Amino acid sequence: MIKSNFNKIAFVLIAVVVLSSCDAVQNANNTQKGAVIGTTAGAVLGGVLGNNIGNKENSVLGAVIGGVVGGVAGGVIGKQMDKQAQKIEEEIPGAEVTRIGEGIDIVFDERSGVYFDTNKSNINTKSRENLNKLVGIFKDYPDTNIIVEGHTDSSGDDGYNLELSKKRANSVTSYLISQGISATRLTTYFHGETLPKYDNATAEGRAKNRRVEFGVLANDKMIEDAKKKVD
pLDDT at 35 over 80: no
Is residue 110 helix, strand or coil?
Answer: coil
What tens digit of pLDDT does each residue of 91-107 get?
Answer: 998 889 999 989 999 98
Other beta carbons less than 10 A from residue 231's beta carbon: 6
Q: Are 48 and 13 within 8 A, CB to CB?
A: yes
Model confidence band, residue 124 (pLDDT cutoffs 50, 70, 90): confident
The per-residue pLDDT for range 47-86, each reduced to its tens digit, is: 334 333 433 557 887 888 777 888 899 999 999 999 999 9
Closest CA to 151 of 183, 105, 185, 184: 105
**What fold is seen in the domain 69-230?**
60s Ribosomal Protein L30; Chain: A; (3.30.1330)
CA separation (Å) from 75 to 38, 39, 93, 172, 223?
7, 10, 26, 31, 11
Label each residue of 177-211 as H, E or C.
HHCCCCHHHEEEEECCCCCCCCCCCCHHHHHHHCE
| CA nearest to 116, candidates 131, 133, 97 | 131
- Those residues whose C-beta lies under 8 Å from the C-beta of residue 156, and which sit 6 or more positions away, are none
